[in-house]
Amino acid sequence: MMQTLAVAEVAQDGSRKDAELGVVADKTVALKVLIVEDNSFDQELILRELRRAGFDVNAALAQTPEAFAIQIRGTCPDIVLADYNLGPWRGMETVEILRREKLDVPVILVSGALGEVEAVECIKQGATDYVLKDSLARLPIAIRRALHEKQIEHERQRAQQDLARKAVELARSNQDLEQFAYVASHDLQEPLRMVAAYTQLLAEQYRAQLDEKAQRYIHYAVDGALRMQTLIQDLLTFSRCGRADMDAEVSDCNLILQRALDRLCAAIEESHAQVTHDVLPTLPVNRSQLEHVFQNLISNAIKFRGKEPPAVHISAHPEADEWKFFVRDNGIGIAPENTGMIFAVFKRLHTRSEYPGNGIGLSICKKIIEQHGGRIWVESQSEGKPSVGATFGFTLPTTRQRNGASS
């Protein structure tokens, strides 16, 4: 019924609608039109109305389905004007023929009489508009609107194609970058290992001949090489996280968390940390990747602890088509102005002498969660207050994500 009302509105105020389309009525516009009409008098009336409206008409005629198919294969028209009732066949069949030929040509029904119910049904089946023969003055307006809508649709399709092409190019570029990072990081491991090993060997072999300053310099060299090795290993982890196809399986998150806690057993005992958790859901996830997320967030809570022993609590609750996880701690917290930057690669809020690490762990967590189709964030009060703590939240979809879509 909405389409019928829209047509009626155009009929009542055609000039206003024409102005909205930005079409100047008295400007000559070339128009290839295929008229499907068995009445020569009506054909002439249609052509006269179009020429009066400023169209430079190049018209072809068809009275049978066979003739219509031949015409559209020969020269694709800008628009089809088809009588609704043609005796042995109906104008709506032109829509089916165009669809079979995979041609996007607007079809406007021109009829002596057509009820609202029939008109709405025709538009549902693919007709662009309809015009009654006793209201042919509205035909140019309907044609301009149909051509305008077709142009908009073509521009939308081109934009979608451009977007899809750019997405493919971006994915290819990301794969190349990830491959480069993996290969470069892997190939850097061996020379760095040799630098560290031979520098340490030099220090041991010639210890008696080196003064305190030389030994200090060698210590700096070895420490730098070892830190670079750790950095490269972190880069490899980050690169592999992007390169690997996410193999998600329905898994018990309680068991995944327990494996992460087993790996952190020594740090938990040494810091006298207390780690508790609610009952966690069973979700389609990559087990090793989610274990890495739990391990990193809990490890950070232990590392950035305050004066009190670390207390960490993991909870989760369902919301719409996802689960929200929260990892809360009672540590030193994060200043509000830093909460938006801590997930950046190599972003550190403290010096290495204060807290060890390369500032890549949270970046890996972010990459893993986003690969699962979720998001990650942090909430905290300003730094420096005792036992303020931080809360890391992340979401995981309830259905498996593949290339950004659930399956």
| Least confident range of 69-78, 147-156, 208-217, 385-394 | 385-394
What's the angle, vertex CA 32, arms to CA 29 and CA 34, rounded to 5?
A: 140
Handedness of CA 270, 271, 274, 280 (dihedral sign): negative
More confident residue, 391 or 86: 391
DSSP letters spanning 292-320: HHHHHHHHHHHHT--SSPPEEEEEEEEET
Residue 181's identity, in one-letter code, is A
Residue 279 dihedral angles phi and psi, to the nearest 5°: -70, 125
> Tell me, what's the pLDDT at 250?
92
pLDDT digits (tens, 9 = 90+) for 261-309: 999 999 999 999 999 999 999 999 999 899 999 999 999 889 888 788 9
Q: What is the per-residue pLDDT across 11-56, written as a single tens digit (0 to 9) for each?
A: 344 444 444 444 444 467 889 999 988 888 888 999 999 999 889 9
Local structure of 85: helix, strand or coil: strand
DSSP string, 1-21: -HHHHHHHHHHHSHHHHHHHT
Contact 291, 249 (CB under 8 A): no
Report residue 111 as tokens: 């009829």
Q: Among 352, 361, 310, which Cα is nearest to 331's?
A: 310
Helix axes 139-205, 40-52, angle to 10 degrees: 60
Tell me, rounded to whole angstroms, the distance of Cα 181 from its chain centroid.
24
Spell 236-262 as b/e; 16+ CB within 10 A means b. bbbbebbeeebebeebebeebbeebbe
- Is the predicted pLDDT of residue 195 greater than 70, yes or no? yes
Between 229 and 319, where is the model more confident?
319
- Say if strands 274-277 and 311-319 run parallel, antiparallel, or are unpaired: parallel
Among all chains, which residue has been given the structure tokens 């049904």? 121
pTM higher than 0.85: no
- Six token digits for residue 333: 């917290």
pLDDT recorded at residue 110: 87
Pairing assessment for the beta strands 107-111 and 129-132 based on DSSP bridges: parallel
Q: What local confidence, expressed as pLDDT, does residue 345 receive?
A: 61
Backbone dihedral region of 281: left (phi > 0), alpha (psi from -120 to 50 degrees) or beta?
A: beta
d(CA 203, CA 122): 90
Position 351 pLDDT exceeds 60: no
Please state, in angstroms and rounded to a whole number, the distance separating the CA atoms of residues 367 and 236: 13
What's the confidence (pLDDT) of residue 313?
A: 96
DSSP labels for 90-128?
A: BTTHHHHHHHHTT----EEEEES---HHHHHHHHHHT--
User: Considering only CA atoms, which of 194, 78, 196, 229 is closest in space to residue 144?
Assistant: 78
Per-residue tokens: 101: 């030929």
**Within the chain, what is the greatest distance between any pair of CA atoms?**
116
CB 295 within 8 A of CB 264: yes
Strand partners, 55: 29
In 206-351, which ranges are E strands?
249-252, 274-277, 282-285, 311-319, 322-329
**CA 329: distance to chain centroid?**
33
- What was the pLDDT predicted at 270? 92
Query: How high is the pLDDT of residue 111?
Result: 85
Name 317's bridge partners: 324
- Please tell me what DSSP assigns to residue 90: B
